[in-house]
Structure 1
């Protein structure tokens, strides 16, 4: 008998974990902005792909706010959620939450929104299902 593993997140969400190592940081020991953006885009890609069950590409990143620095040695949870859909596009809110591994203290450090486009097998924009209420 085969039992499917339980779902760990709704189809509108993706969560990724990273540790900030020295090669991820600038000269003052904080996460490079470009690395933060790459992690955010990756999470947006996964959330949108899960939702649409299609290949997706990034169309735009909007209003990325770097609120607090993320330091070397911290755990970073990247949380992406599909929050709105158009005919072929999905808006994905992404947050970076830093956690001190020893104390467990967590803080929202960075937020942004990404627009992803679903593609068909030929690489043309493809329709996505409407977002369920709730």
Structure 2
């Protein structure tokens, strides 16, 4: 894993989920609300690693669902810090669906989340160093 000059990870954070029936809609594909929750979790983990402390979501920006994710497929969520501000950061999250039987992979989701580092009182706090 590579690091920024201040020792923070700068590689994408990768999480993998299996899509189960209870996460699906009546079409047998990943429910949009569940997909958003998984993406938000991936953004949270990446931002927390970078901030080395508490973060909260301030905004979710455009989220694109480019192809359905079927029950039984893997969903790889790759989150990457793309902007660092004084106390906030932008996190891009990409979801890649993988068919278990063939290994075929395709981009299925893409979104951007604004995360803010906060102190113990829930007030914004400064981040160490910008990208």
Q: Conserved in 1, the CA contact under 8 Å of 2:85 and 2:130?
A: no
Alpha-carbon distance, 1:129 to partner: 2.5
For 2:76, the equivalent position in structure 1 comes to 77
- Is structure 2 residue 14 aligned with structure 1 residue 15? yes
Alpha-carbon distance, 1:14 to partner: 1.5
For 1:41, the equivalent position in structure 2 comes to 40
Q: Give every structure 1 segment of 4 or more consecutive aligned residues whose post-TM-superposition deviation is greater than 6 Å.
A: none
- What's the secondary structure of 2:117's corresponding residue? strand
For 1:99, the equivalent position in structure 2 comes to 98
Distance 1:88 1:64, change over 3 A: same
Alpha-carbon distance, 1:130 to partner: 3.0
For structure 1, the residue ranges without an aligned partner over 5 or more in a row are 1-6
Distance 1:66 1:113 in 2: 13
Alpha-carbon distance, 1:8 to partner: 9.0
For structure 2, the residue ranges without an aligned partner over 5 or more in a row are none
TM-score by length of 2: 0.91
For 1:130, the equivalent position in structure 2 comes to 129
- The count of aligned residue pairs is 126
Q: Conserved in 2, the CA contact under 8 Å of 1:74 and 1:101?
A: yes
Deviation string 1:58-114 (CA, Å, 9 cap, x unpaired) is: 000001011000001000001110110111101000011000111110000010000
What is the Cα-based RMSD across aligned positions, in Å? 1.6
For 2:23, the equivalent position in structure 1 comes to 24
TM-score by length of 1: 0.89
